[in-house]
A and B are shown apart, each in its own frame.
Chain A
Amino acid sequence: MLHRAVPGAKLLAFALVLTGVVASANVLVVGGIALTLVAVIVALRLPWRPMLLLALYPGIFGAIYSFAVATDLLSASLIILKAITAALVAVLLMFTTPYPQVFAPIQRVLPAVIGDALLMTYRSLFLLLEKFSHTLTAVRLRAGLIGANPIRSAATITRSLGGVLLYSIDLSQRTHDVMYLRGYDGRLVVTPQPSVSAWIDRGVAIVGAAIGVMAVAWRIWWPGLNPYAWIPPLVAMVLLVVALAWRVFRKEPV
């Protein structure tokens, strides 16, 4: 369902949920948001393993930062959980929206050179990764990488990266020449994805707004609402259990 929502609605929901995560100062509320996002991932049959791995990565750096600055264990947990939850929101957006559709709204408000560079960088990234992989394979076949001599292997890998650097410069020059020949006039235009269902779009925006408003409300009126901070994670846990049960009921692999 999230794949069918229009990118604008998803970006709005992303901004609202992220605002809630940033504004919150209650570990249970942030935990509730994280569990809700996991429930969405499970319900929509998205690849949860790579998504969670990507989301956990910033938690490592959050742990280093919290070790340095946190005053107690709960504050440290809050820092780490906020880093993971914010990353999970971003990963959920990127796994359900094509990159050009995410860049298109950004491109409209940024200068043309930056907007076009975002799109071309996305394209070039995969070309360079493939080139680097092929180069390393060729080096390995020619015994350039030897486990017994890590220094020589490291120097070889670095020179391979230098070769990829020269390839990337030549690639960008050729790409510019080809685009100029094909009529590039200084701005790439991305056709916006049409809306499939206005209800799905509104639903995504409303859910994002609900999460953001809930988190901000708990931040503003925390003395009165904190005693009931167990409610958001409980609701999120119920949603997660329902999503898992639905997948099991339909005999789908989790």
Chain B
Amino acid sequence: MAALMLVGMSSEIIPIAYHINLTVLAGILLGPWLSIITALIVNVMLALVGHGGVTVIGLNTLVIVAEMVVGWFLFGQFARVFGRRRPAVSAAGATVLALIVSTTLLVGIVALGGSPAATRESGAFNPATLSFANPFGGGVVTNVIVAPQAEQPAPKLPVARFAIMVYLLGSVGWLIEALITALIVGFVARVRPGLVFEGASAEPVRAPLGDEGTHT
């Protein structure tokens, strides 16, 4: 499932801008506990190819796990309301709400982060301080390292601006993801309904090798 999520992420719907995640689909099929392992694996592999940060693997995993677990829970509730004959509708609703929750969690994490050092550049091109003198001329230790540090006020993080951008841009992605998840869940529910409604606990179907070759 983690590999399928990575395949989905490599299929860009709108080049550079949007790609599908299949997180809610994976949550519906795997359930909450396997979702945690899957999210961690996906984030580790994405970080190693530069898509996503290595130092934020934990936070990314938290956000994706929230998406998967909320999606799984909401799909179960919507399936009770809309019945098993409309799994696509349940999946679409669960996807939109799960993505709203994960986006809100993302904004909350950024707000909790406060004013990280990244938003404050220490003055690389400040012409007042730029010097081409020999840095070791006056002694690096006494004049440079032991010199008293100047306090730099931290700027306020404009969380509202960030939230507006994320919700505006994200809403298009929510609709695309919901549509695709609904179509896939509808297809899988017709072909193998046990997989959708029983999830990971369903009895495995050992399908014989067909025309897919000799892969083991």
Contacts and interface: CB of A to CB of B under 8 A. Distances in A.
A170 B122 CA distance: 54
A131 to B, nearest CB: 7
B41 A165 contact: no
Given A68-B158, A165-B184, A223-B150, A121 B123 contact: no
Given A74-B121, A125-B3, A226-B122, A69 B157 contact: yes
Contacts of B191: 162, 166
A122 B81 CA distance: 39
A72 interface: yes
B121 A75 contact: yes
B45 A131 contact: no
Interface residues of B, number: 74
Given A69-B119, A164-B4, A223-B149, A54 B49 contact: yes
A25 B122 contact: yes
B171 interface: no
Given A60-B16, A114-B40, A224-B147, A229 B184 contact: no
A159 B122 contact: no
Given A69-B157, A71-B120, A162-B188, A224 B145 contact: yes
Interface residues of A, number: 82
Interface in A77-130: 77-79, 82-83, 86-88, 90-91, 93-94, 99, 102, 106, 113-114, 117-118, 121-122, 124-125, 127-129
A88 B3 CA distance: 23
Interface stretch (A40-48, A173-181, A186-194): A173-181
A162 B4 contact: no
A50 to B, nearest CB: 11
Contact of A121 (B41, B150, B204): B41
Nearest to A58: B50
B55 A170 contact: no
Given A25-B122, A27-B124, A114 B41 contact: yes
Given A69-B119, A158-B184, 19 more contacts: A27-B125, A78-B118, A88-B50, A90-B48, A90-B54, A91-B49, A93-B48, A94-B48, A124-B2, A125-B45, A162-B187, A166-B195, A174-B206, A219-B122, A224-B145, A226-B123, A226-B126, A227-B131, A230-B130
Interface of A: 18, 22, 25-29, 54-55, 57-58, 60, 64-65, 67-72, 74-75, 77-79, 82-83, 86-88, 90-91, 93-94, 99, 102, 106, 113-114, 117-118, 121-122, 124-125, 127-129, 131-132, 155, 158-159, 161-175, 177-178, 219, 221-231
Interface of B: 1-4, 6-8, 10-11, 16, 25, 29, 37-38, 40-41, 44-45, 47-55, 110, 117-126, 129-133, 135, 143-145, 147, 149-150, 155, 157-158, 161-162, 165-166, 169, 180, 183-184, 187-188, 191-192, 195, 204-207, 209, 212, 215-216
